[in-house]
Amino acid sequence: MTAAKVTPSSPSQQTPPPWRDVRVLRIVGQVVAVVAVFGALYWLFNNLITNLNDSGIPIDFGVFNQPTNFSIRDDPGFDDRSPLFPNLLWVGIKNTAISTIFGILIALTLGTLVGIGRLSSNWLVSKLSLLYVEGLRNIPVLVLITFFGFAVFTFGPFPPFNPSSPPISIGLPFSDSNLALLSNDRWGVPSIATDGATGLFWILMLAALAATVAVWRWRTSVNIKTGAPHRRVLFALGTLLGIGIIAFLITGTPYRMSWPAVSESGRRIDGGFSTNAGWISLTVALGLYTASHVAEIVRGSIQAVAKGQSEASNALALSGFQRYRFVVLPQALRIAIPPTINQFLNLTKNTSLGVVVAYPEITSLIRTAIGNGKPAVPLLAVLMAIYLGFSFFWSIMLNIVNRRFQLVGR
């Protein structure tokens, strides 16, 4: 009699009970975590609604149809009867965007130069760049904004702006016009004013842009086919400027220079572009602070480029400028863009600190509206949505640029 042969099942075929199955435990843990989070949020939201209803505070968005009951400095089109939507929100978003754009330009330009300076073989340039980075990066940005607002303007060297104390005037040589008007309250600089058929001018400029793109591609094809220098920038700029000058003359000079001048009352600036001390303090402080971080990103990105690239550039007898322009910086840019996006997002959100220098950005205006008796919940909800929109915008734009510069594998 032969005994039956028992074949043991393999470990992979053995199914553990549910309370010991890792996959089941992971799913259960995630479900419990989600339920706990949503339960906590529901409890907090329900508690908030109950307390607001008991206090008689409205939570609907009808508040945005109410008048603001206050005016905004340097914005004559806005008065105390203007509604929160769209007037107050538009002014706040516009001021926040202007400060953000100029701050990014300062940070990107200065940060790139300082980052390159950190790697300079010149001892003085290298140490000054290091001093800038370590000094600005380790000072709270709120302190920098306050310093510019008070040390440079409120208690600085500039005179007050009133009929008995005119601002400092920097004149245009051989002319009665002013290049700048400087006071502790506002600055005025030249600007461009419209005076003609601007619509037709920009239609012609769109045609000029299309011609510029065509010339750029033509010079590129010439370089590929014959090996001759493409000189794309020279030809493209020449085309754009040439057609632009012709369009400007044909349309009857639709733009003219506007020079700043003190008004007859001696209390405001007529002509040119004038801005208040709050905008300058906030924008310059954020630009300088963010530039210190961008400089370290640029320095690290340059050092991440293979050393052999620089050695090959030297072997081709490229100058230092050509080596950075054509070899090092294009490769470093691919590395620097992702962390730079975070710095631009931080700068955008830090504009909310403009309240310390009385700059009417969106957070300052919302705080003022709440202080004037408007319900906080809908206003703060819209404020968070606005900053979320700013963050999405910069993320999308810079991610498009990032994909454009990334190498495509095959």
Share of the chain above pLDDT 70, in %: 95
Range from 52-66, 83-97, 202-216, 281-295 carrying the lowest mean pLDDT: 52-66
Question: Mean pLDDT throughout 56-82?
Answer: 76
In the predicted structure, residue 12 carries a pLDDT above the cut 80: no
Does 8 reside within a domain? no
Question: Mean pLDDT throughout 360-367?
Answer: 90
CA distances from residue 230 to 120, 216, 324, 373 in whole angstroms, order as listed: 31, 9, 19, 64
Closest CA to 365 of 351, 348, 345: 351
In which band, very low, low, confident or very high, does the pLDDT at 4 lie, cut at 50, 70 and 90? low
Q: Is the peptide bond before 86 cis (omega within 30 degrees of 0)?
A: yes
* pLDDT attached to residue 175: 82
Distance CA 292, CA 40 (A): 41
Q: Are residues 385 and 236 in the same domain?
A: no
Q: Are residues 185 and 196 in the same domain?
A: no
* pLDDT attached to residue 242: 93
Distance CA 235, CA 220 (A): 11
Q: Are residues 296 and 174 in the same domain?
A: yes
In the predicted structure, residue 208 carries a pLDDT above the cut 60: yes
Domain-terminating residue out of 258, 284, 314:
258
Q: Are residues 218 and 267 in the same domain?
A: no
In which band, very low, low, confident or very high, does the pLDDT at 6 lie, cut at 50, 70 and 90? low
Q: Are residues 308 and 361 in the same domain?
A: yes
Average pLDDT, the chain: 85
HSE toward the beta carbon, residue 312, CA cutoff 13 A: 8
Q: Are residues 102 and 246 in the same domain?
A: no
In the predicted structure, residue 10 carries a pLDDT above the cut 70: no
* pLDDT attached to residue 39: 93
Q: Are residues 206 and 139 in the same domain?
A: no
Domain-terminating residue out of 209, 229, 258:
258
* pLDDT attached to residue 3: 53
Does 23 reside within a domain? no
Range from 110-124, 267-281, 286-300, 317-331 carrying the lowest mean pLDDT: 317-331
In which band, very low, low, confident or very high, does the pLDDT at 103 lie, cut at 50, 70 and 90? very high
The answer to whether 191 touches 273, Cβ cutoff 8 Å, is yes
Does 234 reside within a domain? yes
In the predicted structure, residue 282 carries a pLDDT above the cut 60: yes
Does 15 reside within a domain? no
Q: Are residues 356 and 397 in the same domain?
A: yes
The answer to whether 248 touches 194, Cβ cutoff 8 Å, is no
* pLDDT attached to residue 287: 94
Does 58 reside within a domain? no
Q: What is the Cα Rg of the chain in Å?
A: 30
Does 136 reside within a domain? yes
What is residue 195's three-state secondary structure? coil
Does 4 reside within a domain? no
Q: The tokens of 11 are what?
A: 């470990």
Distance CA 279, CA 273 (A): 13
In which band, very low, low, confident or very high, does the pLDDT at 369 lie, cut at 50, 70 and 90? confident
pLDDT in tens, 122-142: 899 999 999 999 999 899 999
Q: The tokens of 107 are what?
A: 């940070």
For residues 126-141, b (16+ Cβ closer than 10 Å) or e, as one string?
eeebeebbeebeeeeb
What is residue 53's three-state secondary structure? helix
* pLDDT attached to residue 304: 87
pTM: 0.78
Residue written as tokens 């008007």?
A: 181
In the predicted structure, residue 51 carries a pLDDT above the cut 70: yes
Task: Please count the residues of the chain.
Answer: 410
Q: Are residues 213 and 180 in the same domain?
A: no
Distance of CA 98 to the CA centre of its chain: 9
The answer to whether 145 touches 356, Cβ cutoff 8 Å, is yes
In the predicted structure, residue 347 carries a pLDDT above the cut 60: yes
* pLDDT attached to residue 2: 53
In which band, very low, low, confident or very high, does the pLDDT at 166 lie, cut at 50, 70 and 90? confident
Closest CA to 181 of 271, 98, 106: 271
CA distances from residue 237 to 56, 81, 122, 208, 233 in whole angstroms, order as listed: 63, 48, 34, 10, 6
* pLDDT attached to residue 83: 81
Q: Are residues 176 and 88 in the same domain?
A: yes
Q: Are residues 388 and 338 in the same domain?
A: yes
Helices and strands, number each (H, E), in the chain: 12, 8
In which band, very low, low, confident or very high, does the pLDDT at 8 lie, cut at 50, 70 and 90? low
pLDDT in tens, 210-233: 999 999 999 989 888 888 888 888
Closest CA to 283 of 127, 117, 104, 125: 104
* pLDDT attached to residue 93: 92
Domain-terminating residue out of 212, 227, 258:
258
Residue type, 365: L
Q: Are residues 181 and 286 in the same domain?
A: yes
* pLDDT attached to residue 9: 52
Range of the domain at 363: 84-190+259-405
Share of the chain above pLDDT 90, in %: 31
Closest CA to 339 of 304, 302, 303, 293: 293
Residue type, 212: T
pLDDT in tens, 228-248: 888 888 999 999 999 999 998
Does 61 reside within a domain? no
What CATH number does the domain containing 297 carry? 1.10.3720.10
Q: What is the number of domains present in the chain? A: 2
Range from 32-46, 63-77, 106-120, 295-309 carrying the lowest mean pLDDT: 63-77
Question: Mean pLDDT throughout 50-65?
Answer: 75
